[in-house]
Amino acid sequence: MKPTGTGRAVRRYAVLVAALLSVVPACGQPPAPAPGAAATSRPDPPALPGPTGARPVGLRVLELRDTSRRDPWDPSRSRELMVSLWYPARHSTERAARYVTPRESELILRAQRIKGVPADLLSRVRVHASRDAPPAAVSGPGLPLVVLSPGFSLPRTSLTALAEDLASRGYAVAAVDHAYEAAAMSRPDGRVTGCRACHGSPDGRRVAATRAVDLSYVRRQLLGRPGTADGRLPRLDPARVAAVGHSMGGAAAFEALRTDPGFAAGADLDGTFHSAGTSRVDRPFLLLGADAHGRPGADPTWERVWQRLSGWRRWYSVTGAQHASFTDYGLLGERLGHPAPGTAREAEDALRITRRLVAAFLDDRLRGVVAPDPDDVARHDERIRRHQPRQRP
């Protein structure tokens, strides 16, 4: 079968990371002072934007192993997933979470052939969650859960700003590293694996279908996790679970919604769809696209999926946004003074819009919050365009 889509994603990521990391004077080791000059202090590392909700945020990292499946990229092993779970926390003095580990930062740099920068560069990005903080008390049936899937070759941490924001608003957010589909993924046993799937251009439908099964497995495991009984993990509401993804992760979110009735809603952030089925989907779905890619006619897979959505649906695009604007990387490049190719100059604004629209969608569809709904957000921001393609008979 002809490869579809994943090769382009890897090339986009390589260019993006190269630009993001070409910032040694800005956040790496400063240049050596001239003879006789006073040494300058090392500048503070960049920070992700703060969460907009009222709650502190905690983070736990979990390893999940699906022994019923073999990994498609390493058939000698079961399917292994690493999950970051953000949640509303009690005020805590626990240590601050890391964006990535120093080893992961080193491997991302090595994979992209970036030289002349500190190996731990990405590990020094500042985030806002506290590692292993005790979860806040939960009333009612439990927290709504959002399962996040990143773009192909991107780590789960590329969606940290979105995850922290949703957690501060009262959601549990589980971001998934799909084994061998990210540049670096650390395991509790000390192994750090890379993107084995990036060698070549695997079929997009196979990747999306495998990831959809991953998301369903994560949903089931978290809902049945024993840590919820002893207070280490928040209690979750099985009736309010959404799948959200960027790029290939968005295709996986749609497939998870299509194949698993346990997901109540889904969203695709600028991803081409790779669906192996033609069944209709009657649960809420959000399409949020970049300036060019998100317009009707730009990607025929969006038109096809739109026709298959029989429930609540919305299609928006963001003026000036590019593919990476929905992740942390566009913002980090801009804050370091080196906007990366594939991101808008207004990356902070694009990420703000992403967080507001996704939160409004989830509040409206999972929690029944009356306002602001996504249309309210769109009406009050001139950069957001709503599209309503005509339904075909």
Q: What is the pLDDT along the chain (393 residues), one digit of tens a residue?
A: 333 455 455 444 454 454 454 443 333 333 333 344 333 344 467 889 999 999 999 999 999 999 999 999 999 999 999 999 999 999 777 788 999 999 998 877 676 666 666 788 889 899 999 999 999 999 889 999 999 999 998 899 999 999 999 999 999 999 999 999 988 898 888 888 888 888 878 899 999 999 999 999 999 999 987 656 557 899 999 999 999 999 999 999 999 999 999 999 999 999 999 987 888 999 999 999 999 999 999 999 999 999 999 999 999 999 999 898 999 888 876 765 556 555 555 788 899 999 999 999 999 999 998 789 999 999 999 999 999 998 765
What pLDDT score does 170 carry? 97
First to last CA, the chain: 30
Token pair belonging to 68: 């019923």
> Which residues, other chains included, contact 96 with Cβ-Cβ below 8 Å and sequence gap of 6+?
126, 127, 129, 130, 131
Answer yes or no: are the C-beta atoms of 97 and 130 closer than 8 Å. Answer: yes
Token pair belonging to 297: 């006619």
At residue 287, φ and ψ (nearest 5 deg) are -110, 120
What pLDDT score does 112 carry? 61
Token pair belonging to 367: 């929690």
Whole-angstrom distance, CA of residue 178 vs CA of residue 79: 9
What pLDDT score does 95 carry? 84
* Eight-state DSSP code of residue 55: S
Paired with 287 in beta bridges are 268, 315
Answer yes or no: are the C-beta atoms of 64 and 83 closer than 8 Å. Answer: yes
State the CB neighbour count (10 A cutoff) for residue 249. Answer: 31
